[in-house]
Structure 1
Amino acid sequence: MSLAGTVAPRMAAMAPRARPPVAEATGSGPERAFVTGILREIQLVSFRENREYCGYIGLDPNGNYMRTPYSAGVEAGCALPAIPPGMTVLASFHTHSTYSPLYASEFPTSQDMRSDASLDVDGYISTPGGRLWYVDTDTMTVRQLCGRGCLPQDPNYRAADDGPLRPVFSYEELVRFENGYL
């Protein structure tokens, strides 16, 4: 057997998979209602287990909203699940786990934004204080869709530790805050 015969099958197996189709998220209307229902459902589980939960929302081939199965992460991170065939991805979603004074968990992080941007999707994030945020990767901004208590709230949450909350942050503002300059 030649060397080429042993290498070719391995190369084919390592070929990149096609990226699933992606459509623009809106952060409003029925899409927002759909993702709010998802986050309302998993927020209490996230608090109870002290871990982030994440996934994707999208459209099925008939144009109906769908989600991936939930992926359970760790206290401050979550690996997104595989995207099922036929799903057109609209956005990622994830919880910010439980309240902790060690994390600025009441708003998205620059890492949250970079992760979504690298996947070419927008994102939705729920916080221990019960806020809902929308990550717009076209403008690299985050916008608070609803304030404290609009989603289930961690019983240990302390509003005094929220940090410099604003209704909108740019990526650059989040980086400055994370580095102690905001």
Structure 2
Amino acid sequence: MIYHIRITAVPLLLGLALASCTAPQTQTPIGTASKIIQSAPQTAPVTAPVVTSAVDAYAKTLLDALQPRSIAESREYCGYIYRRADGGLAATPAIPGDEASCDLPYPSQNTVASYHTHGSYSRSYDNEVPSTGDLRSDFAFGTDGYVSTPGGRLWRVDHRQRIAILICGPLCIYADPRDDPSDAGHVAQSYTLGQLQRR
């Protein structure tokens, strides 16, 4: 049985939620990210610790390559980073979502983290930070998560510490040329679920 997680971004007037994705596709993600799997066994996520810095670097390369497509199409893309049998990292194909959401199937046993973009710049969303739904989804599945923003920020949702941590700031990865940095307001270095709810 496949469980789906829906991550949705809600207009600012209604509050915040998460951005998620749909069923795996056979397409290969844009860019230089290494091997891809078409589907993975639907079992509980792996709980073995991983070297965070290596996963951060992999996620940065993966999402930087995916940003131009996500921004051009004004839609979110999502997927999973997983550990290959040889111990290396790879990513599932990027799944297209819509402007503010993307559905992911339940993570497989070798899943290390989820990943998703926040699409193009829009005044309607607080998309320079992860949403409360982004955090809830990763907490529920017991995986970390990576989120890229239109302003070129990269975040890691740490499910063990239950916090979102800014990996790198504006323009550290490909950014929407139409982004308005002043619209984001103050962006902290980290956020708990409660802090995002109050933002």
Indicate the residue corresponding to 1:48 in structure 2. 72
* In structure 1, distance between residues paired with 2:138 and 2:192: 14
TM-score using structure 1 length: 0.81
Displacement, 1:18? 5.5
Q: Which has the larger radius of gyration?
A: 1
List runs of 5+ in structure 2 lacking aligned partners.
4-40
User: Aligned partner of 2:80: which letter?
Assistant: Y
Displacement, 1:20? 3.9
Q: 2:122 aligns with which of 85, 96, 100?
A: 100
Query: What pairs with 1:1-182 in structure 2 (closer than 5 Å)?
Result: 19-23=43-47, 28-81=52-105, 88-177=110-199
Displacement, 1:164? 2.8
Total equivalences in the alignment: 162
Indicate the residue corresponding to 1:4 in structure 2. none
* In structure 2, distance between residues paired with 1:108 and 1:74: 16
State the Cα deviation string for residues 5-62 of structure 1 (Å, max 9, x = none): xxxxxxxxx6998524423565842211111111011100000110000000010122
Equivalent residues of 2:45, 2:141 under 8 A apart? no
Displacement, 1:81? 5.0
* In structure 2, distance between residues paired with 1:83 and 1:36: 20
Q: Percent identity?
A: 37
List runs of 5+ in structure 1 lacking aligned partners.
1-13, 178-182
SS at match of 1:142: strand
User: Aligned partner of 1:55: which letter?
Assistant: G
User: Aligned partner of 2:124: which letter?
Assistant: L
* Larger RCO, structure (CA 8 Å, separation 6 or more): 2
What RMSD in Å do the two structures reach over aligned CA positions? 2.2
| CA distance 1:155–1:63, change in 2 (3 Å) | same
* In structure 1, distance between residues paired with 2:91 and 2:191: 27
TM-score using structure 2 length: 0.75
| CA distance 1:144–1:51, change in 2 (3 Å) | same
Deviation beyond 6 Å, 4+ runs, structure 1:
14-17
| CA distance 1:51–1:61, change in 2 (3 Å) | same
| CA distance 1:27–1:114, change in 2 (3 Å) | farther
User: Aligned partner of 2:125: which letter?
Assistant: Y
* In structure 1, distance between residues paired with 2:2 and 2:174: 43
- Whichever structure has more helix as a proportion of its residues is 1
